[in-house]
């Protein structure tokens, strides 16, 4: 993919469940999506920049603390956010939470393409590629802003972070 341009990110739904928190956002973007063989010949798609719209659902374990810092959760305790420092039984040295519990911070759990709007994808899935390229920025920036209540959207009435 090249010439990736994210034009809008709109929160659609926030669900605070018993096991997971879910956040669904609509991403409107444009990109040229194609693949080349080792000789440089295009094997599918083309270099035309086309718009597309996708709904991305991000998910995390209930009770995981999302910190107000850029980027994704990296080597931090899912409970208190401290740098990972475990004792002999896998507990965080700071808050004593079990870090081996399987809890996780925000991950992309589902991408749904808006075929009705004519996403322009040719022979590929631009959302899957963009998830790898800009997912960290969206998780760190957008989600932190939305969940801290700084977005002004009014969609976070539950008060959780």
**Full residue range of the structural domain in which residue 64 is found:** 2-71+109-147
Angle among Cα 35, 38, 40 to the nearest 5 degrees reads 65
Task: Provide the pLDDT for residue 91.
Answer: 78
Q: What does 28-72 look like in DSSP terms, one character per residue? A: EEEEE-EEE-TTS-EEEE-S--EEEEEEEEEEEETTPPPPSSSS-
Inside any domain, residue 121: yes
On whether residue 77 sits in a domain, the answer given is: no
Q: What is the pLDDT of residue 43?
A: 94
Residue 29's pLDDT is what? 95
Question: Residue 105: what pLDDT?
Answer: 75
- Domain annotation covers residue 159: no
Residue 53 lies in a domain: yes
Instruction: Please indicate, yes or no, if residue 79 is contained in any of the structural domains.
Output: no
* pLDDT mean for each 10 residues of the chain (161 residues): 94 91 94 93 94 93 72 66 72 78 76 62 47 46 49 40 39
Q: Does residue 141 sit within a domain?
A: yes
Classify residue 142: in a domain, yes or no: yes
Domain count, the chain: 1
Helix (H) or strand (E) holding 14: strand 2-16
CA distances from 147 to 68, 135, 150 (A): 10, 16, 8
Within a domain: residue 80? no
DSSP 75-120: SB-TTT-PBP-B-TTSBBTTT--BGGG-----EEEEEEE-STT---
pLDDT of residue 35: 94
pLDDT at residue 69, rounded to an integer: 60
């Amino acid at each position: 993919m090249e010439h990736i341009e994210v034009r809008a990110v709109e929160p659609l739904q926030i669900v605070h469940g018993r096991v997971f928190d879910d956040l669904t956002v609509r991403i409107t973007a444009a990109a040229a999506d194609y693949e080349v063989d080792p000789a440089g010949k295009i094997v599918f798609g083309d270099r035309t920049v086309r718009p597309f719209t996708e709904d991305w659902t991000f998910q995390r374990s209930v009770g995981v603390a999302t910190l107000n810092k850029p980027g994704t959760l990296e080597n931090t305790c899912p409970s208190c956010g401290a740098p990972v420092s475990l004792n002999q039984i896998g507990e965080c040295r700071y808050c004593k939470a079990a870090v081996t519990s399987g809890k996780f911070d925000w991950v992309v759990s589902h991408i749904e393409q808006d075929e009705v709007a004519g996403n322009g994808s040719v022979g590929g899935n631009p959302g899957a590629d963009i998830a790898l390229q800009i997912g960290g920025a969206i998780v760190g920036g957008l989600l932190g802003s939305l969940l801290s209540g700084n977005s002004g959207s009014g969609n976070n009435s539950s008060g959780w972070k």
